[in-house]
Structure 1
């Protein structure tokens, strides 16, 4: 299951996110989205977990968690068609 993590403080690292989600189960990938120009975090990330039950527990357990002083938002990521993703990245 692909999970969207939003409202991240810009100083949060992929390693920190990975550790948070690993407490709920296996993590296939953890990708903090970075600005191509500045190289700094855009404040959101995608995490993939293979087991739906673990992913749901992670979403429920981490949504609104305060991390670096910010309440993060965690939810299942919407699957957008490829052409919509390309348009957003322009």
Structure 2
């Protein structure tokens, strides 16, 4: 039995321009493989982007390729920072 079947890799995306949408981030990552979830974190009061988000990909190989391929990519003039999110134990 494969214990990783329900496992997905969480990726932190920082330094996003405040106007970048969930759909735009999703499109960037879809080029690398299957995306399970994608969310740009928004301020609860204003609904505006906080400039970072999370992407989950179930294939670790695709996730690592996405991290390497997208880190420092310029999106709307800002170089985004992409890395595997550390689990808060």
Mark yes or no: TM-score above 0.5.
yes
Question: 1:38 offset after TM fit, Å?
Answer: 0.7
Alignment of 1:39-50 (within 5 A): 39-50=47-58
RMSD over equivalenced CA pairs, Å = 0.5
Detail structure 1 runs of 4+ shifted over 6 Å in the superposition: none
SS at match of 1:2: strand
Unaligned runs of 5+ in 2: 1-8
Q: TM-score, normalised by structure 2?
A: 0.90
Aligned to 1:16: 24
Aligned length: 81
Alignment of 1:57-68 (within 5 A): 57-68=65-76
2:43 is matched with which residue: 14, 35, 39? 35
Which structure shows the higher helix fraction?
1
Question: 1:41 offset after TM fit, Å?
Answer: 0.2
1:54 is matched with which residue: 37, 58, 62? 62
Unaligned runs of 5+ in 1: 82-90
Correspondence 1:79 to 2:87: yes
